Structure 1
Amino acid sequence: MLLTYQYKLNPTPQQVVTLEAWGELLRRHYNYALGQRLDWLNRTRSLLDRCSLVCEPIGEIPQKVDYYTQASDLKQTKELFPEYKNIYADCQQQNLMRLDKAWKRWLVPDKNGKRGGRPRFKKRGDICSFTFPRVNCAKAGTHLIGNALKLSKIGEVEVILHRPIPDGFEVKQATILKKADGWYVSFSLEDKTVPESLSIDEIKTATGIDVGLEKFLTTAQGQSIEVPQYYRKAQATLARQQRQLARKTKGSKNYQKQANKIALIHLRVARQRKEFHYQVAHWLVKSYDLIVFENLNIKGLARTRLAKSILDVAWGAFLQIMQAVAVRRGKHTRGVDPRKTSINCSGCGVRVEKTLAVRVHSCECGLVIDRDWNSALNLLKLGSVGLPIPGCGGLDISQPVKQQVSYVNLRCSRYIACN
């Protein structure tokens, strides 16, 4: 299993200038390579409604451009532009690999028939990271010795090791990236000690989770977590800072300083949200052996008038984190179709029509519970089919009619987030 540990760097002013120069040169080379590919594509294609006698490429048709042809041209690039000799060769190759992946995502559909967007030309400052593919080996351009990171053609950079790299983890590659508050390094670590997943017979506890905007999620046991709304709480501060930015002269130093203040606010919101997601994920994986969630079309939901709230809770990022934490702990996760889970009764299975404004599920069988709780019970029932798990049939009439949803307090849970 591959993990990523990120550490803060403390480069000297001269090293900062070198790192920024590398990013700018790699950006220009990325744009040139993308232009080569688009030129080849336009010269070797003709529109369906155009005759070749009317629409025909002008000039010599170039040969097909791919990663290998562009990587072989790096030697010529260094001869024409000597400043590229100061960049480590592997970083330039990784830059072209990044373009090649984006190009293939656009032209080649995945197993579901979906394709990515067309690669775009990068503006100044868009490329703020570069990768050293080898670390601590004979031909590596990066060596981590203690708290010093030795980079080829840059020198030794101090690393703030706020947590040690665990024993037995192999450092595969290092990515240098720039954020609003400084430079960081992300180490890709290979962990060979990941436990095997529990067998089906060993699963003893299971739950279903229903995500929402009123409550972040509700479990099949009736526990709910409030929505933190980090972005909503920061909106007033962001609006004030953005008004100050609008008064600055675009491109001036004061404009850049104010833009960096806004970037710091967004960075803080993103970190708060990520920390919250990890806390919830560790709590769920620690409590249950099987977690059933709903496969939502989050991109489609983000196009509605609730887009800001949906993007603020970031369900997709949370589900990815939860699945990664579950794999590391040997637990199981399962996604099911969410259709009709909030309409059907978890006790008797009867369809109970209700609008989104109705937050309480009330059935003729006598079951009156929270709407999200009812949906979580239905998700658990769908995800646990064929599993020897007791108590997955939902609530029935013999249980209390009116249920109160309890809220789990995840504050000050550093232990949960770190383990």
Structure 2
Amino acid sequence: MEWWLELLRRHWNYALGQRLNWLHRTRSPIDRCSLVSEPIGEIPEPVSYYTQQAALKETKRLFPEYKKIYAETQQVNLQRLNKAWDRWRKPDASGKRGGRPRFKKTGELRSFVFPRVNSSKAGAHLIDGVLKLSRIGSMPVIMHRPLPRGFTLKQCTIVRKADGWYCCLSMKDDTVPEILPIDSVKTAVGIDVGLEKFLTTSDGEAVSIPKFYRKAQDKLAQAQKVMSRRVKGSKNWKKAKHKVALLHLHLTRCRKEFHYQVAHWLCNKYDLIAHEDLNIKGLARSKLAKSIHDAAWGAFLEILQAVAVKRGLLVQEVNPRGTSIECFNCGSRVEKSLSERVHCCLCCQVKIDRDWNSGINILNRGLMAVGLPLNGCGKSIQDIEEQQVSYVSLRSPHHNL
């Protein structure tokens, strides 16, 4: 499997070089001749997924080792490159484009795909806990949960991680849950994500931020220091690098488990969840970049959306502008710096937690977006002023490093 990854990596780089060479030789500025900066030579034929797929026969003739790789796996490798190329060359509906596809160094390609499972001409078969891969062989697998009934296995992805090899199965289920009708929404909440508290709801409940990366910085620094003192490329350097990769993998899994716990906690209590449509990439370029990456708001919101869809619940994005400045009671603007954590309105004399005020504003905007009447957080102003933000304790994963 490691040899497959290395061969597919080389083929990725060759196919990407073909595309870039065609682009450089065929593009020409409008106001000057391309001979100034572009190479002289015969203009190559257009390069696409279909031309590169047709060239696989010639690749196998020149390099016989590629005959040992399952044919559909090589085709999927080219399909991945084609998707990355299209994201770079073709803007989406909003006019944004992805970054240029990169050449992959040794070890950077970590997965390959069998596009069909358990069919007559499939390259992967999973039967009774034994995975049989075409031209690789059979091997027992540890199932982290039983396969649900009624699902059809569609795709098998073999992934290499720091602690071993994994098989990711994609399944298809025709019984898609119906989205809850707007008229049937009984409970709604607005959530305000932050760095002092991971999130604060419009009901006055807050979830503490775990700070997985901050707590593991010393141990990571020690492991990285050991790796930097080794001769690059030596066996001891590879062992030290593997320890650093294991630490990062453990942090990622702890953070992901925490996100799933918070998402399920919200979906168990509410039918409609409103959150801010944040520009997380822009915020991550500020001085708070390390804390923002540690909280991983974007990953959490994606998980929240996925959990809500599976349950048929509603998740609504709202405009984040002014949610922490506007007063939820009278609507007046109360300018305050980021260090001020209490919202004090001079017009209506309301004094509550800053994040709680934002959560109520987010809820009201979410209700307006779906066409429901505003009900704030369901509490009177006197109750809000008297009650303090209460922290919710969730079952934390084993993240001791």
TM-score range (shorter-chain normalised) is over 0.9
* Offset of residue 278 of structure 1: 0.3
* Offset of residue 108 of structure 1: 0.2
- 2:356 equivalent to 1:373: yes
SS of aligned partner of 1:380? helix
Measure the CA separation in 1 of the matches of 2:384 and 2:204. Answer: 13
- 2:236 equivalent to 1:236: no
- 2:190 equivalent to 1:208: yes
Q: What residue ranges of structure 1 are gaps of 5+ in the alignment?
A: 1-18, 415-419
SS of aligned partner of 2:217? helix
After superposition, residues 213-224 of structure 1 pair within 5 angstroms as 213-224=195-206
- 2:316 equivalent to 1:334: yes
Q: What residue ranges of structure 2 are gaps of 5+ in the alignment?
A: none
* Offset of residue 247 of structure 1: 1.1
- Alignment-derived partner of residue 390 in structure 2: 406
- 2:19 equivalent to 1:37: yes
* Offset of residue 387 of structure 1: 3.9
Measure the CA separation in 1 of the matches of 2:271 and 2:163. Answer: 39
- Alignment-derived partner of residue 232 in structure 2: 250
Identify if the C-alpha distance between structure 1 residues 52 and 260 changes in structure 2 by more than 3 Å, giving closer, same or farther: closer
- 2:165 equivalent to 1:189: no
Identify if the C-alpha distance between structure 1 residues 121 and 52 changes in structure 2 by more than 3 Å, giving closer, same or farther: closer
**Counterpart amino acid of residue 388 in structure 2:** Q
Measure the CA separation in 2 of the matches of 1:244 and 1:192. Answer: 51
Measure the CA separation in 2 of the matches of 1:52 and 1:241. Answer: 50
- 2:281 equivalent to 1:299: yes
- 2:153 equivalent to 1:168: no
Name whichever of 358-367 and 94-103 sits farther off. Answer: 358-367
Measure the CA separation in 2 of the matches of 1:260 and 1:53. Answer: 48
Measure the CA separation in 1 of the matches of 2:112 and 2:397. Answer: 34
SS of aligned partner of 1:240? helix
SS of aligned partner of 1:238? helix
**Counterpart amino acid of residue 355 in structure 2:** D
**Counterpart amino acid of residue 196 in structure 2:** E
CA RMSD of the aligned region, Å?
1.6
- Alignment-derived partner of residue 275 in structure 1: 257
Measure the CA separation in 2 of the matches of 1:245 and 1:28. Answer: 27
Measure the CA separation in 2 of the matches of 1:327 and 1:393. Answer: 24
- Which structure has more RCO (C-alpha within 8 Å, separation ≥ 6)? 1
Give the TM-score normalised by structure 2: 0.96
- Alignment-derived partner of residue 26 in structure 1: 8
Identify if the C-alpha distance between structure 1 residues 360 and 58 changes in structure 2 by more than 3 Å, giving closer, same or farther: same
- Alignment-derived partner of residue 337 in structure 2: 355
Identify if the C-alpha distance between structure 1 residues 136 and 338 changes in structure 2 by more than 3 Å, giving closer, same or farther: same
**Counterpart amino acid of residue 17 in structure 2:** G
- 8 A contact 2:24–2:38 mirrored in 1: no
- 8 A contact 1:210–1:217 mirrored in 2: yes
Measure the CA separation in 1 of the matches of 2:87 and 2:55. Answer: 23
- Alignment-derived partner of residue 367 in structure 2: 384
- 2:305 equivalent to 1:323: yes
* Sequence identity percentage: 62
Measure the CA separation in 2 of the matches of 1:166 and 1:106. Answer: 38
SS of aligned partner of 1:114? coil
Runs of 4+ in 1 over 3 A off after TM superposition: 52-57, 386-390, 393-400
* Offset of residue 350 of structure 1: 1.1
- 8 A contact 1:370–1:403 mirrored in 2: no
Give the TM-score normalised by structure 1: 0.92
**Counterpart amino acid of residue 356 in structure 2:** W
Identify if the C-alpha distance between structure 1 residues 395 and 347 changes in structure 2 by more than 3 Å, giving closer, same or farther: farther
* Offset of residue 399 of structure 1: 3.4
- 8 A contact 2:364–2:374 mirrored in 1: no
